[in-house]
Structure 1
Amino acid sequence: MGSRTQDDIEQDLRGVIAEIFPAQQVELTTETPLFNGGLSLNSTQMIELTLAFETFYDIELEPEMLTVENFATLGSLSGLLLDLLEDEVSAV
């Protein structure tokens, strides 16, 4: 993937979310909550989103990473993905 910034990842996530939840009409900012307001995802949609970005980035999240904190906002999720992608690059 090369060196991506958190902004790049947020942009990618906006595209993934638009693709899997086309009826969603929320403007997604860094602080947009993914649950309780904002996107108002439920647990099934969180799994759909997780599978979509795992496929998009060709990564796999460990079960312990599936926390409310990591999925709280678009920013927290993109931060998690940034860390994972940087670990992937440094492991190569």
Structure 2
Amino acid sequence: MTMAGPKTRADIEDDLRKIAAEVFPRHNVDLRSDTPLFNGGLSLNSTQMIELTLAFESFYDIELEPELLTVENFATLGSLAELLEDQLNDSDD
């Protein structure tokens, strides 16, 4: 990955907001760190979770291990950003 340094969680949350807006243009939701991605908030279903995952994997040029695709990691925008921050910083090492 070619970045000028590690992305912060705030940067990643901003990226995720943009990605979600592109993937789900009809979900007019103000995404904050504590916004639920499933029950409330975006109200994603499992198919939409896969769509979002594929979109951010493509955006960041990463591939998440299947064991990371958990309800806990996808609970909120913040928890997903935390997971991605860990993944992106690990791939920089």
Report the TM-score range of the alignment, normalised by the length of the smaller protein: over 0.9
Deviations 1:3-27 (A, max 9, x none): 1100000000000000000001110
Task: Give 1:28's aligned residue.
Answer: 31
Root mean square deviation of aligned Cα? 0.5
Q: What are the within-5 Å matches in structure 2 for residues 36-55 of structure 1?
A: 36-55=39-58
1:83 offset after TM fit, Å? 0.1
Q: Does residue 15 of the first structure (1) align with residue 14 of the second (2)?
A: no
Task: Give 2:70's aligned residue.
Answer: 67
TM-score if structure 1 supplies the norm length? Answer: 0.96
Count of aligned pairs between the two proteins: 90
Task: Give 2:82's aligned residue.
Answer: 79
Aligned equivalents of 1:12 and 1:37: distance in 2?
20
Aligned equivalents of 2:23 and 2:69: distance in 1?
19
Deviations 1:43-71 (A, max 9, x none): 00000000000000000000000000000
Structure 2: state its 5+ residue gaps.
none
Structure 1: state its 5+ residue gaps.
none
Moved over 6 A (4+): none
Aligned equivalents of 1:40 and 1:23: distance in 2?
12
Identity over aligned pairs, percent: 71
